[in-house]
Structure 1
Amino acid sequence: MDKNAPPNSASTVADVAREAGVSKATAARVLGGYGTVSEKVRVAVMAAAEALDYRPNELARSMTTGRSGTIGVIVGDIENPFFSLAVRGITDVARQAGFTVVLVNSSEDARNEEAALRTLLAKRVDGLIVSPAKESETDHLRDAARSGRPLVLLDRGSETLGVDTVVANDRHAAESITRKLIARGHRHIAYLTACDTPDHHFRTPADIHTGSVRRRIEGFFSTCQEAGMTDVEHNIHVGAVTPERTRAIIMAMIEAPLRPTAIIASDSVIALEVFKLCREFAIRIPDDLSLVSFHDADWTSVTTPPVTVIRQPVYQLGETAARLLVRRMKGDVGPPTRTVLETELVERASVSMPDQSSEPPHRG
């Protein structure tokens, strides 16, 4: 190594080769972990690398070996506890398999998702896990799958893509909790989601392009109709994308002549806003309003009252997606799989029978 080089100058493969007394190609094989060399040479090269404090150039190594040792993950909202826990499951499996995770947030925007995908492919990630923002916009995902990089869809599937998919049984979960609310006497149940439509009004489940949420709404919608409830579409509220927007929607609901007696929140972020607003306006949960949330966020078990939730296997979703991806990266070429994980209803104290004396009349 050049004696006149500054102390923090990065060592190169050539420096290590010179120090170990081997060719640059031999040093590269040892440092890159490919090819075969004698144990004596390997020990000499590794000793030289340690002495020179050599740090590998990951880009150069990926160009040589065709592998970067990284997995690209794209999720809709990294601030949502659901995605945080799913990513934990992914990273735990990835680390055990020797991979580093590169995480990108799409903000539930298909254009952001497409741009993130291009960036990750340019960085030569070895595989991809994506939670699609819109099942109706998947051309970029299809192109990624065609690139040869293994792709696994997380929480949201696509019937048009022949790739591994891991989802929760969202429709069954929504059906179960809706039946329980109806059995308790609720006839005016609201469903609130961050998913939106161009005019911010829900008409049919086909309006919802996020697969997991659409399956929940389908379950809610069909169960209400089976119970003889009419105008169900008016009880599904979309566009709760920010705390301010969520608050405005909730205020409109509770100030309407036909006030809901129960709300199903499509995620724990929305449920928290419902809970906060009820506290602010002295709306008693569950005496005045029953509340159920998808996702068992930490806060839901420590409030007064604790909130009834649909516990999703969030960590297992991420863990399973990562295991499937690692299997593909190791050469599995079997047919695509669709894994459906079951949910669990955790009944706490935020649901009761509606006050029949104050419940608004049933529409229709």
Structure 2
Amino acid sequence: MKDFAPSKRPVTVADVAKSAKVSKATAARVLGGYGTVSDKVRSQVTAAAAVLGYRPNELARSMTTGRSGTIGVVVGDIENAFFSLAVRGISDVARTAGFNVIIANSGEELSAEKAAIDLLIGRRVDGLIVTPSDCGASDHLSDAIGVGVPLVLFDRAIPALQVDAVTGADRDAAMMATRHLQSFGHRHIAYVTAREGEVGEYFTDESQLPATSVLRRVEGFLAAQSANGVQDAHRLVRLGAVDQDHTDAVVAHLLGGTPRPSAIIASDSVVGLEVFRSLQTRGLSVPRDISIISFFNADWTTVTTPPITVVDQPVYEMGRRAAERLIARIDGGAEASQHFTIQTTLISRGSVGQAS
């Protein structure tokens, strides 16, 4: 059996110093990026490190410099294209600024979010970007702030925390989507979200929607419907579309009810795709039989027949803004906390038609 055990020990600072013919302290200054050395000595040390294949001990470096050079990012669902694109924006800014990124997925579960934050703080990250799964439960985030870890909230704000937040203009975006449907004569419009709930459960109070981004969208939807004279619009705000099977059940319950919706707004692109599949499975034609709008301009929305009208959220820019703000905090920015609201646009395609 072949032996895959390491053939030699890791290269140390002392090895690099010996090869470069300098003191260990001098080599450490060059490799650690601190202190002052001549250009000649720096070239000697970096050349020796390259030849020997030296890799820095990040833990030792963090103990010396007080920084780990890493940022922790906790998102709700990394399989959701919204969060994947956001992480890309965060990573691009972080890399340019010399930071690595450690990503954790909470699955929109508070316990997983808490465990991830504890782990990241234990890894001595220099700062955190977090999408809170429950905006009403923030003690663990307060604890992170209390131990001196800079924090930026992404996609969902918690005003009581008084930390920086980067979100979309969720209320305005939902109003815009609803008004677009209303302009085609739609009155009975359903709003479907992936927040936990029983099939047939509809929105009655804020406690059902712990994510402020979803709550703001529902508020915008209801405000637009109320302004259009639609009564009891909250009864068509449906929870529970957590996967394809549950979404199928939610759609079936909506279409079998009274009033039957002539249009559906999907709260995110994952729910949007599931709703579209459900409608196809039932043999319904979009938009002849029913219209649909989805949040987020995911790739799939352009290749369906018809292509889907979407609320386009500049998610990459939101990720960049969150990273820029966090790095400014890490570098000692002392400004008051700010809530950055990024505006959205509506991309009209072929999935909205006249109400029958």
Task: State the superposition RMSD in angstroms.
Answer: 1.6
Q: Which amino acid aligns with 2:154?
A: L
Displacement, 1:298? 0.9
Map of 2:211 onto structure 1: 210
Displacement of 1:335: 0.8
CA distance in 2 between partners of 1:39 and 1:354 (Å):
73
What letter matches 1:54 in structure 2?
Answer: Y
More moved, 100-109 vs 236-245:
236-245
Q: Partner letter of residue 295 of structure 2? A: F
Pairwise mapping of residues 211-230 of structure 1 onto structure 2 (< 5 A)? 211-230=212-231
Q: TM-score, normalised by structure 1?
A: 0.92
Counterpart amino acid of residue 215 in structure 2: R
Q: Residues 189 and 264 of structure 2 are in contact (CA less than 8 Å); yes or no, is this contact kept in structure 1?
A: yes
Equivalent residue for 2:121? Answer: 121
Alignment check: 8 A CA contact 2:195 2:240 kept: yes
Whole-angstrom CA distance in 2 between matches of 1:162 and 1:279: 45
Q: Distance in 2 between matches of 1:65 and 1:31?
A: 12
In structure 2, do the counterparts of structure 1 residues 198 and 62 end up closer, same or farther at CA, with 3 Å as the change threshold? farther
- AA at the equivalent of 1:333: A
Pairing 1:247–2:248 present? yes
Task: Give the deviation of 1:209 after TM superposition.
Answer: 0.9
Q: Please give the secondary structure, in 2, of the residue aligned with 1:160.
A: helix
2:195 is aligned with 1:195:
yes
- The 8 Å contact of residues 202 and 234 in structure 2, kept in 1 or not, is answered as no
The DSSP-based 3-state class of the residue aligned with 1:310 is strand
Unpaired runs of 5+ residues, structure 2, are 1-5
Q: What whole-Å deviation, never above 9, does each CA across 1:11-41 have from its counterpart, x for those lacking one?
A: 1112222223333222211111111223333
Kept in 2, the 8 Å contact 1:156–1:165? The answer is yes
Q: Which moved more, 1:299-308 or 1:193-202?
A: 193-202
Q: Give the TM-score normalised by structure 2.
A: 0.94
Structure 2 counterparts to residues 4-43 of structure 1, below 5 A: 7-43=7-43
Q: What one-letter code is carried by the residue in structure 1 that aligns with 2:268?
A: D
**Sequence identity (%):** 52
In structure 2, the partner of 1:67 is 67
**Aligned counterparts of 1:137 and 1:350: Cα–Cα separation in 2:** 38
* AA aligned opposite 1:238: L
CA distance in 1, matches of 2:93, 2:185: 45
Aligned residues: 350
The residue correspondences of 1:181-330 to structure 2 (distance < 5 A) are 181-197=181-197, 200-330=201-331
1:215 alignment partner, SS class: helix
2:301 match: secondary structure: helix
Shift of 1:340: 0.7
Q: Which runs of 5+ in 1 are unaligned?
A: 1-5, 356-364
Rounded Cα–Cα distance in structure 2 between residues aligned with 1:143 and 1:59: 23
User: 2: CA distance between counterparts of 1:97 and 1:117?
Assistant: 22
Deviation at 1:120, TM superposition (A): 0.6
Partner AA of 1:181 in structure 2: L
Shift in alpha-carbon separation, 1:302–1:229, aligned structure 2, 3 A: same
Structure 1 partner of 2:339: 338
User: Larger deviation: 103-112 or 218-227?
Assistant: 218-227
Contact 1:70 1:102 in 2 (8 A): yes
1:195, distance to aligned residue in structure 2 (A): 1.4
The residue identity in structure 2 corresponding to 1:173 is A
Secondary structure of the residue aligned to 1:336 is: coil
Runs of 4+ in 1 over 3 A off after TM superposition: 197-201
Partner of 2:10, secondary structure, is coil
Secondary structure of 1:181's match?
Answer: helix
**Displacement of 1:183:** 2.8
Whether the 8 Å contact between 1:205 and 1:217 is mirrored in structure 2 is no
Q: For residue 214 of structure 1, what is the amino acid of its counterpart?
A: L
Distance in 2 (alpha carbons) for counterparts of 1:25 and 1:264: 63
Report the 3-state secondary structure (helix = DSSP H, G, I; strand = E; otherwise coil) of the residue aligned with 2:297.
coil
- Deviations 1:136-189, CA, capped at 9 Å, x for gaps: 011111111222221111111011111111111110111122122223221211
Per-residue CA shift, 1:112-140, capped at 9, x if unaligned?
11110011111111111111111101111
